[in-house]
Every structure is written in structure tokens, then in C-alpha cells.
Chain A
Amino acid sequence: TQLLEQSPQFLSIQEGENLTVYCNSSSVFSSLQWYRQEPGEGPVLLVTVVTGGEVKKLKRLTFQFGDARKDSSLHITAAQPGDTGLYLCAGPKLGDYKLSFGAGTTVTVRA
């Protein structure tokens, strides 16, 4: 059982549409990070959210950390083919510093 559950597992949308990826846990996290990974490459850090209820925006990407620090979401507005990739959430449980990863959401944006 994964400590962090991501949904959906796969997402295929048309260019210009919006999408949301969810990351949930029954555990409290001291922070949550979002990474994007492309085939044959290592994950690349997109953002870290630290405070419960925090919202961070990175151009067309909006990241939210739940009030209870058990969940997070990533919303992409007007998706582009360049947003295609594997999106991973990760975080250290409260009191720990090992980073646990969710299984990932594979996003495909069709032109």
C-alpha cells in the first residue's frame, strides 16, 4: 500500500482543456512536493508546499496543500502538449525526513 495515493493513474486530454491530479494520504506530511518526470529522465521538482491551506501558482499550474496537510492537488489550466509527462507527489511524513513518492499520474496532452 502506497503512503501517498495519486489519482487518476492516467489522464488523456485535448490541448486547451484543464486537468486536476490528486494526491491523498491518511498521514500528515510536513511538506509535499510535486515532480514531473519524462521518459528516460529523473524527476524534476516543480514546487514544494509547506503550510496547510497553501496555494502556489507556477504559470498555468496551481498547487494546493490541504488544510490538514494530508492531501494536495495539482491543477493545470489550458494544458499544452509540453505538459505531457508523469506527475509525482512526494513528501516526508511529519517527524520523518524520508521522501515517499506516490505511484504517479501519467498525463498526455493531445495536440
Chain B
Amino acid sequence: DSGVTQTPKHLITATGQRVTLRCSPRSGDLSVYWYQQSLDQGLQFLIQYYNGEERAKGNILERFSAQQFPDLHSELNLSSLELGDSALYFCASSVEYWDYGYTFGSGTRLTVV
């Protein structure tokens, strides 16, 4: 157990739907990162939050949004889902907004049918 908790572990949904992925960071970590991993793209950085505020944005689609709450947990919202959004979504956390290593959760496997 890495200390980073992601729910749900698996999600199957239809095209056009909206889903919410949840992440609880490791105790004491203020920064949360979201990554998407697909077979052809590898691990792609989506977005980072630090202590409730957006810190950096990567290749995140406009259909996707995220936030970090006062208790530091984070949610990634994916809407108008397409088949190509099927992937593993990982959350990671670290103490600072820059850091020498991230702790990853076990991921949420999203399948869009």
C-alpha cells in the first residue's frame, strides 16, 4: 500500500457519459498529480494541484477537469467520454509542488464502450 488511494479501481461506462475519479494523497502530501497511461502514449501528465490550487497543466482535454478540496483529496472529472479516453488514470502525490519523487496510487482503469 503506497498510501495514495484511488477509487474506483475499475470503471466501465458508455460513450457520452461523465465519470468522476477520486484520489486521496499520502498523509502529509500537499501536491496531487493526475496522469493518463495508454498503450500508445505512455504516461501523460494531465494536471497538478498544490494545497488546493492548480499549479501546472499538461495535456488535459477541455472535457476533463479536476479540483483539490480543503481536505487535500482530489477528483478528476471526465465528461462526454469517447472510446479513446479508455486508459489507466493515475494519481500521485508529493510533499511539495516540486519534489524528488512521487508516490503513485494503483490507478483507475477506465473502459469506455
Contact = CB atoms under 8 A, between A and B. Distances in A.
Interface residues of A, number: 23
B110 interface: no
Contacts of A40: 106-107
A103 B37 CA distance: 10
Interface in B92-113: 92, 97-107
Nearest to B45: A98
A2 B42 CA distance: 9
A82 interface: no
Interface of B: 2, 4, 33, 35, 42-45, 48, 55-56, 58, 90, 92, 97-107
Given A41-B106, A97-B97, 17 more contacts: A31-B100, A40-B107, A42-B4, A42-B104, A42-B107, A43-B43, A44-B2, A44-B104, A45-B101, A45-B103, A88-B43, A90-B43, A98-B45, A98-B48, A98-B56, A99-B102, A100-B45
24 contacts: A2-B42, A33-B100, A33-B102, A35-B104, A40-B107, A41-B107, A42-B4, A42-B90, A42-B104, A42-B107, A44-B104, A45-B102, A48-B100, A48-B101, A50-B100, A90-B43, A92-B98, A97-B99, A98-B48, A99-B45, A100-B45, A101-B43, A104-B42, A104-B43
